[in-house]
Homo-oligomer: A and B are copies of this chain.
Amino acid sequence: MSVCEKYYPSEPSKPSVVTSSIPGPESQRALQKLGQVFDARPAYFMGDYEKSLGNYLVDADGNTFLDLYAQISSIALGYNNPALIKAAQSPEMIRALVDRPALGNFPSKDLEGILSKILKFAPKGQTHIWSGLSGADANELAFKAAFMYYRSKARGYETPFSAEENKTVMENSTPGSPDLAVLSFKRAFHGRLFASGSVTCSKPIHKLDFPAFDWPHAEYPSYQYPLADNETANRTEDDRCLKIVEDIISSWPIPVAALIIEPIQSEGGDNHASKYFLQSLRDITTKHGVVYIIDEVQTGVGATGKMWCHEWAELQPPADLVTFSKKFQSAGYFFHDPKFIPNQPYRQFNTWCGDPARMIIAGAIGQEVADNKLVEQCARVGDYLFEKLEKLQSQYPDKFQNLRGKHRGTFIAWDLPSPAERDAFLKHLKLAGCNVGGCSTHSVRLRPSLTFDEKHADIFVNALTNVVSKL
């Protein structure tokens, strides 16, 4: 019995679209009403989560979609997973929801146990955790850790703050509020708050009209595909980008305290970084005393065929900080060097210090992923699916440009010739019963749940073939 059959014995056997357009009339009516109090314009349709099951997302009109987008890559185990329902009904969950503690000041007796269940799945080498509430929050908390660490190396970990630092910080000026930068990459997405927004660099719409820090963006490699046929060109591309990184670190007018990178840039177009590139960044950051932050918000928790995507790079020594959110539902960062714990309490602190309700869900997700070998399943299903996509690519090379994500689980993407064709493609796929997301301006990204298996891949490839043959 497959994992999916075990979880979802009554999962639909195929998608079913009953309206002639999407959103259908009931979604439209409900979205119009929602729009009176909330910005509902980005909605594709209104979800009916009570009726959704496993890999199938049902909408308010009764359309049943095979879901390869999974709430922007955030549903790990499918809809209405029985193990998560059990966690949601546990006494610990009731406490977490009803008596939400200020975890820094009055931690709950069970907090250590809850965190340990998440830490069990931390990337290799990472031993500590700090909790936040979203991917953007996780990244900004990691920046705070990085800035404190960077300044403590210069000042001395035990050295008290100077009178001048204590005075100037209250005026938002140096040296108390130092000019320090986080280096990121063009096409990166790390969130939409003000520091996370300053490192995000994929689309103007994310950040127009917001003040930003004067932080630099290096170039992220653009590989030629298939990788196996372009090794020399891609290595040259890596070296070109690495030189830019090192040049910026050496020359940017503001000291670069940290570097943040997605092992695969997701929102920015499913741009992959090679093992060589990620290890070289480790070497460069070590050499220059820059904190190395890996953003696993979208790539983490199994979808690339490893629990954490950057584990493919086998970094030595490990990254300094690794951030997570999305498929773990909870958010935060992992680290291994105890010196990332600030030299005084209350420096990394806030009222809630994370959400225990979401932490409990994260632990339950991790346990299910491990018990059911879902990372291994995702690697297997991804290879199966990729092979079929390669066949489609050979038939329709124009509609499957730069097919990428081979041996990276179901974390697969390709390009269409133009944004308009990509948008039409995704629309036709929805009408064919497959909910699929885009990224960048003209890419298609696959982000199914880890319970997606070969039979779902077959259904998807079948729909894809029908759609592409008619385009």
- For chain A, residues 180 to 219, give those with C-beta under 8 angstroms from any C-beta of chain B: 180-181, 186, 191-195, 198, 201, 204-215, 217
Q: Is A50 an interface residue (CB 8 A)?
A: yes
Q: Is A468 an interface residue (CB 8 A)?
A: no
Whether A106 touches B71, Cβ cut-off 8 Å, given contacts A161-B204, A209-B147, A209-B178, is yes
CB distance from A466 to the nearest CB of B (A): 24
Q: Is A446 an interface residue (CB 8 A)?
A: no
Q: Is A119 an interface residue (CB 8 A)?
A: yes
**For residue A112, which residues in chain B have a CB less than 8 angstroms away from its CB?**
30, 33-34, 37-38
Contact A195 B194 (CB under 8 A): yes
Contact A39 B350 (CB under 8 A): no
CB distance from A97 to the nearest CB of B (A): 4
Whether A350 touches B192, Cβ cut-off 8 Å, given contacts A89-B94, A147-B210, A329-B100, is yes
Q: Is A148 an interface residue (CB 8 A)?
A: yes
Contact A74 B97 (CB under 8 A): no
> Which of B89, B104, B326 lies in contact with A42, CB distance below 8 A?
B104
Contact A345 B133 (CB under 8 A): no
Q: Is A392 an interface residue (CB 8 A)?
A: no
Whether A31 touches B166, Cβ cut-off 8 Å, given contacts A38-B115, A133-B133, A194-B194, is no
**For residue A38, which residues in chain B have a CB less than 8 angstroms away from its CB?**
107, 111-112, 115, 128-131
Size class of the A contact interface (CB-based, 8 Å): 35 or more
Contact B193 A129 (CB under 8 A): no
Q: Is A47 an interface residue (CB 8 A)?
A: yes
> Which of A76-84, A284-292, A303-311, A376-384 makes up part of the contact surface?
A76-84
Contact A71 B107 (CB under 8 A): no
CB distance from A100 to the nearest CB of B (A): 6
A324-356 vs B, Cβ < 8 Å mask (1 yes, 0 no): 011001000000000001101111111110010
Q: Is A405 an interface residue (CB 8 A)?
A: no
* Extra inter-chain contacts (6) besides given A135-B351, A166-B204, CB under 8 Å: A37-B112, A47-B101, A88-B93, A165-B208, A172-B214, A172-B217
